Amino acid sequence: MAAELRERLVELFRWVDPDPGASHLVSDISGWWRDPVTLAALGPALVAPFRSARPTVVVAPAVTGFLLGPLAATALGVGFVPAHKPGDGRLPTGPLTWAQSPPDFRGRRVDLAVRDRHLGPGDRVLVVDDWVATAAQVRALYDICAARGAEPVGTSTIVGDCPPALAADLHIHALLTATELG
Ligand SMILES: O=P(O)(O)OC[C@H]1O[C@H](OP(=O)(O)OP(=O)(O)O)[C@H](O)[C@@H]1O
Ligand SMILES: Nc1ncnc2[nH]cnc12
């Protein structure tokens, strides 16, 4: 199943031209959600490498993480905590823990926030995302976990595009490398 899923992910992925004259292509991952077999397989595949670490919660960042996080959480039988960004237009109220990322793959420092009441000491956190490039957003999420007294057990991503040493250091597992997407 893992090999079959990986093949389907590659087939359904597109690099697209965002507008005429654009200097680079952008990723279009929407085909992954449109295909029912892929959609059903993603949660179980993302959590498989981390089951033995016994995560108690999944944390994922806006906006794609709000789709993938619940798929992973339901596969594990745990809850999901969204990490919000100020641009969401729907920032939560109440006590929040914030962290700012180092510059990410687009050179942005991203602010991320999690509700304090949903993350705390004793939580073992699996971070889930669609794509890890510089791991800047992963670092910000680990900082939030540390500030809340929670322990990040690692990160599961569909596409991993960071150096192997960094992936090993941050316990990042990817279903595919960016190179496999052509
Ligand atoms: O490894 P990094 O350099 O931190 O980059 C990876 C992050 O950037 C993208 O998200 P983006 O902020 O573009 O949000 P999106 O889910 O709305 O596309 C991607 O989904 C990851 O969250
Ligand atoms: N969605 C994405 N996140 C991170 N890096 C990318 N490179 C291309 N698409 C990307």
84, 88, 104, best to mutate for ligand 1 pocket (most atoms within 8 Å of CB)? 104
32, 105, 132, best to mutate for ligand 2 pocket (most atoms within 8 Å of CB)? 105
Instruction: Give the three-state DSSP class for 109.
Output: strand
Determine which residue's CA is closest to atom 9 belonging to ligand 2. 27
Domain residue spans in the chain? Answer: 50-174
H/E segment holding residue 28: strand 26-28
Q: 88: which 2 tokens?
A: 């969401």
- Computed from CA positions of residues 110, 86, 116, 120, in that sequence, does the dihedral angle turn out positive or negative? negative
The answer to whether ipTM exceeds 0.85 is yes
The CATH number of domain 50-174 is 2.60.120.200: no
Please tell me the distance from the alpha carbon of residue 159 to that of residue 24, in angstroms, as a whole number: 18
Tell me the angle at which helices 36-47 and 2-12 cross, rounded to the nearest 10 degrees: 130
**74-131 confidence digits (pLDDT tens):** 999 999 999 999 987 878 999 999 999 999 999 999 999 999 999 999 999 999 999 9
With beta carbons less than 8 A apart as the criterion, state whether 60 and 119 touch.
Answer: no
